[in-house]
Structure 1
Amino acid sequence: MERIDKLKTFLEKSPNDSFLKHALALEYVKLGEEAGARQLFEEILTHDPAYIGSYYHLGKLLERTGQLPLAITWYEKGMAAARAAGDRHAYGELQGAYEEAMDG
């Protein structure tokens, strides 16, 4: 909980910091607090759609919670963002998750 408390303190000072929100969302994922993590990932991608790393994690979270069609939609959005940013590595990871979800 110490990490979560620190991240929340930092977010009070920089409430729109996508990196801090992403880090906090990952901490929530570790604790199984999917609703809190999902809310943060969605906030990030609504306000900062170029924050590519959150697409993958949101998609995986949605898959785990039985929301496969929505996960696929987020993977598609993430692939488009990665393509626009020229981030081949992120595109490849998102494409792999997307293809796995489509087969699943």
Structure 2
Amino acid sequence: MTKLLEFLEQEPNDSFILYALATEYNSQNDIENAFFYYLKLVNEHPSYVGTYYHLGKLYEKQGEKEKAITIYQQGMQTARSKRDMHALSELQGAYNSAAGLDYEDD
């Protein structure tokens, strides 16, 4: 974490460093800082596709399903525009689950 913060001082607008910090804070259950960095990414680096899945999951973890669904939708649009089919598939799965669309055929 210390090293990431040092990198951030040197490159305050680097999307990968911001993402790494958000993810690290999230893994440490520092929800406030995780949200801060994920939202900074969405606002300042909206094309950074990886943000949307993790931010959506964080919203779900906080019981904010509607916000999660909105973030997944934004992420799917971004993934489509970047032709990132892997990210699109992951976001679609998360969206379907959050929206109650993931059902099993018996």
Indicate yes or no: 2:21 matched with 1:21. Answer: no
CA RMSD of aligned residues (A): 0.9
Q: Percent identity?
A: 46
2:41 corresponds to which of 32, 41, 44: 44
Structure 2 letter corresponding to 1:30? S
Q: Which protein has the larger Cα radius of gyration, Structure 1 or Structure 2?
A: 2
Task: From the two aligned structures, give the one with the greater helix fraction.
Answer: 1
Rounded Cα–Cα distance in structure 1 between residues aligned with 2:14 and 2:60: 26
Structure 2 letter corresponding to 1:83? R
Gaps of 5+ in 1: none
Rounded Cα–Cα distance in structure 2 between residues aligned with 1:9 and 1:89: 31
Match in the other structure for 2:27: 30
2:99 corresponds to which of 78, 82, 102: 102
Rounded Cα–Cα distance in structure 2 between residues aligned with 1:39 and 1:62: 12
Match in the other structure for 2:60: 63
Rounded Cα–Cα distance in structure 1 between residues aligned with 2:27 and 2:46: 23
Matched position secondary structure for 1:103: coil
Rounded Cα–Cα distance in structure 2 between residues aligned with 1:29 and 1:50: 21
How far the C-alpha of 1:90 sits from its partner, in A, is: 0.2
Match in the other structure for 2:71: 74
Match in the other structure for 2:86: 89
- TM norm structure 2: 0.93
How far the C-alpha of 1:32 sits from its partner, in A, is: 0.4
